[in-house]
Structure 1
């Protein structure tokens, strides 16, 4: 019988290991085993150990045998494996992605990428010859448009279970604590994950129901992904769900909004319109704004925030598009 499939799998395993062996620190077989599991490469720990031993014989890999578990790293003068070594620009992109996407990627994928993130940090470390790339991380920042708040605490294991169930289309068993402090157990179908400021929200459907609910991750006391799969509903679109104003505490209703705003307070609406169909009529001291928007509590809070600089607010219901 042909051994070709086994040979291909062995080659794939070797490449995955070589890509994840760092240059400036040691990594153990246990760490590599965990990374590969999260990347979808299923091999037992003993197989990983045997493969690392073989690679150490044929590549410039240093195996530290002073204590167990053994540690592996590329030797100082080694060029490593040419394909996976990041250049300065790629390392910069990886570190920015790690910083800003950590809550928008499944936990398992983030863990499987740990070796690459570490490689990026090593690439842009103090010894990096590209000073400009290294300095860039201190030159850019995402800033809050509201009063900065610290993120609420999410219970250990909750984000990992939620994100992995969302990624694999698995039913999720949760214990959820509502705003009144009452805890309830439920089975939910995870449909989307949204980050709003420092908070994370899960869009889901409770088992036996067709309408969507929004659950704050920091109010989930415990979560466990089941082995039950589901077919993602064809009638749900997260982008449209957001556009309909649900994350602003709306119910999907759209309105034609009219209001007057002081010129100084409303100048930013010339630069950042409320909608694509926004119209501005200018008078001596104010703007009259007309725009089609989602009718949400967030919109009402925004308008009230201007105080007496906004007046003559009118709302007209818009018929939904069939």
Structure 2
């Protein structure tokens, strides 16, 4: 199978992964047990604020389907997500004047919470269309992320308008599943179109100017300022560890050395080392983490041998890779699909 390195890029805030863990904790499965097959550490997930990769989120999504035995589980998970879970983005939506302003706010600042989709808003006869353009290769995760996305949007609109949401057109690119009735049950009165060219939502004009129940102009300005600051920080690449990680991910198996990374970031090697130390990490720690993500992908999604993976990841001996990988996954390694 082809390596989709875009899936290894930081893509979504870990809060959403934590919400999934909390859902199953309420169902009787603690977070560590739930995460065990995913090779994701609960303590790291709980304490980290940096975006996790889409591949990591994918493993959590697949685990939720496996445990629940519900391919539509994302629709149920979306019902548990409050607008406050979206931080400043959710705050801005809640205090928007009306639905149109809320949608414009989401379109502008959605990237502060996730990079999986880039929303594009267009006015069409009879309403407003939001097209979700994928930034990563979705593969088998397409239905999960679409269900989650539509479910969260639906819940947010009900919250701010207090109205039953009907006559929306929700378009998906995948074929109609056998459990499509669950879509109707979660968002009754709306039309679901499967096998479409794009992922999109069409909202009739009658909803756009409905005054929000919780609108507050001053608070909206504050939320806008907060989101603009976050967006600017992301665009400037303020997080040095994240910038190093992205460079290593983009170089794939031919990983840049420390000096080359420093050159790409227009700073001296000593300055880069100092900044990484201030962020409580190092070049080697980031490289090890990137190698681990590649290794998990190769081991679970391809038929590559250990020797081939070792060579691809830059290890001189397969035995070195084996020892390193065992250290990475520790007791979780039995859960990986390794032959």
Going by fraction, where is helix more abundant, 1 or 2? Answer: 2
Normalising by structure 2, report the TM-score: 0.24
Going by fraction, where is strand more abundant, 1 or 2? Answer: 1
Q: Which has the greater radius of gyration? A: 1
